[in-house]
Amino acid sequence: MSEFALRGAIYSLIGDPFFEAPADCVVYEADGLIWIRDGRIEAVGDYGALRQQMPDEVSIHHYPDSILLPGFIDAHIHYPQVEIIGAYGTQLLEWLNKYTFPAEARFNDPAHAQRIAEFFIAELQRNGTTAASVFCTSAPGSVDAIFEAAQKDNMLLLAGVMMMDSHAPANILDTAQSSYDASKTLIERWHKRGRCLYTVTPRFALTSSPQQLELAGALMREHADVRLQSHISENRAEVARAAELYPQRANYTDIYDHYGLLDERAIYGHAIHLSEGELRRFHETGAKIAHCPTSNFFIGSGLFDIARTRHAARPVTVGLGTDVGGGTSFSMLQTMSEAYKMAQLRGISVTAAQSYYLATLGSAQALGIDDRVGKLQPGYAADIAVLDPRATPLLALRADVAESIDELLFALMICADDRAVKATYVAGELVHDRDN
């Protein structure tokens, strides 16, 4: 049995601050203790009180002046696109053709896939991200590579082979049948192995034939607890093309709905240009959205409307994704910052609690993993990010005048990045230590 405890300020969302009063959904301990046993949280509380209950022999690692948060959860990221992050000058469809598809073709080589997968997992950890929903390529070996890399550190990772049989270069196309067969094999191999979870992954309607979407639906029916991830309504030219390819369908959402791809296990990236009727359908079916602001700004896709999407009359669950390499940073802090600015452009000021919710519990709910991660509470995995609010001279100056934890966390998400991640724990193991 391995047992230890972490001491520091503790901040964790346990409810949804878009709908509940902050006092009801935030747990904050100025001097807190997290008691960890065999990779799970045994107890969380005020240091003075919990110290009394914990056996004396349990060692305590103290992070004075640091904030312990649940590890960040990236609801949408592409590991094969790491090398093309920050590619100049295009919008979605041209960006895919010019940069993304050639980069993904390199993953037909398993050695390349392994090298980038290992880099990618380390980079997540450097950013305090402890779980992620990851897009691979159409090469089944790209899925083995990322799950193998994740498994080395016992990371909770959702991933699946990219299904794409149309309108892309031949060297990254599958067929409807081969993608179905590969998905099945990979589900058998990886789903629920360690902390790996399989996600059926049709890229988007533009690169899948009706037959392929039909088979993606079959995979979802045949495997009750695998997830589904895809893209929807990111860019206006994409929306128009989807309508051309599927003229019989009422709208973009209806394409996925028609093939049985819209339910509570599904999460769609972007969803910027959805109509009211489409959002209502997301709400009715329980399908989720991954909001990816750094990508939306960078590729020039549009301004996601968080207030409209989460409207109390028909709320849709939203998680936060970096969408690297369309997105420009692995940092969920930077991603929260850009989400804040995007909402500001629509006249909404997202609060610190709402932002950290999106990056932790919200993403967990959007991925159907909120029964095990996203909160610091007993029984949950000890997936923890340790943030140093004084990581740079500027941050230290700012922290000195912060009058509340909310003010401090807000300034941190606006101004900080990976330098503020002092340590990352995955299932109770230290996987990143900034200073050592």
For the chain, the 3-state helix, strand and coil shares in percent, each to the nearest 5, are 45, 25, 35
Q: Which amino acid is at 224?
A: A
Binding partner of residue 203 among Zn ion, ligand GUN, none, CB cut-off 5 to 8 Å per kind: ligand GUN
**Nearest residue (CB) to ligand GUN, 13 versus 96:** 96
Smallest gap from Cβ 84 to ligand GUN, in A, equals: 10
Smallest gap from Cβ 416 to ligand GUN, in A, equals: 24
Contact 164, 172 (CB under 8 A): yes
**Nearest residue (CB) to ligand GUN, 195 versus 231:** 231
**Nearest residue (CB) to Zn ion, 323 versus 370:** 323
Interacting residue ranges for Zn ion, rule: CB under 5 A: 269, 323
**Nearest residue (CB) to ligand GUN, 330 versus 357:** 330
Binding partner of residue 141 among Zn ion, ligand GUN, none, CB cut-off 5 to 8 Å per kind: none
Binding partner of residue 306 among ligand GUN, Zn ion, none, CB cut-off 5 to 8 Å per kind: none
DSSP 432: E
Smallest gap from Cβ 324 to ligand GUN, in A, equals: 9
Binding partner of residue 100 among ligand GUN, Zn ion, none, CB cut-off 5 to 8 Å per kind: ligand GUN
Tell me the Ramachandran region of residue 433: left when phi exceeds 0, alpha when psi lies from -120 to 50, beta otherwise: beta
Spatial CB neighbours of 174, under 8 Å, sequence gap ≥ 6: 138, 161, 163, 164, 165, 182
Interacting residue ranges for ligand GUN, rule: CB under 6 A: 78, 92, 96, 100, 203-204, 231, 234, 295, 323, 326
**Nearest residue (CB) to Zn ion, 326 versus 362:** 326
How far apart are the C-alpha atoms of 42 and 35, rounded to whole Å? 5
Give me the residue label for tokens 């016992």.
154
Smallest gap from Cβ 235 to Zn ion, in A, equals: 11
By CB atoms closer than 10 A (0-12, 13-18, 19+), residue 132 is buried
Q: Which residue's CB atom is positioned nearest to ligand GUN?
A: 326
Binding partner of residue 295 among Zn ion, ligand GUN, none, CB cut-off 5 to 8 Å per kind: ligand GUN
Smallest gap from Cβ 179 to Zn ion, in A, equals: 18
DSSP 206: G
Please report the sign of the dihedral spanned by the C-alpha atoms of residue 135, residue 296, residue 274, residue 307.
positive
Smallest gap from Cβ 327 to ligand GUN, in A, equals: 8
How far apart are the C-alpha atoms of 45 and 48, rounded to whole Å? 9
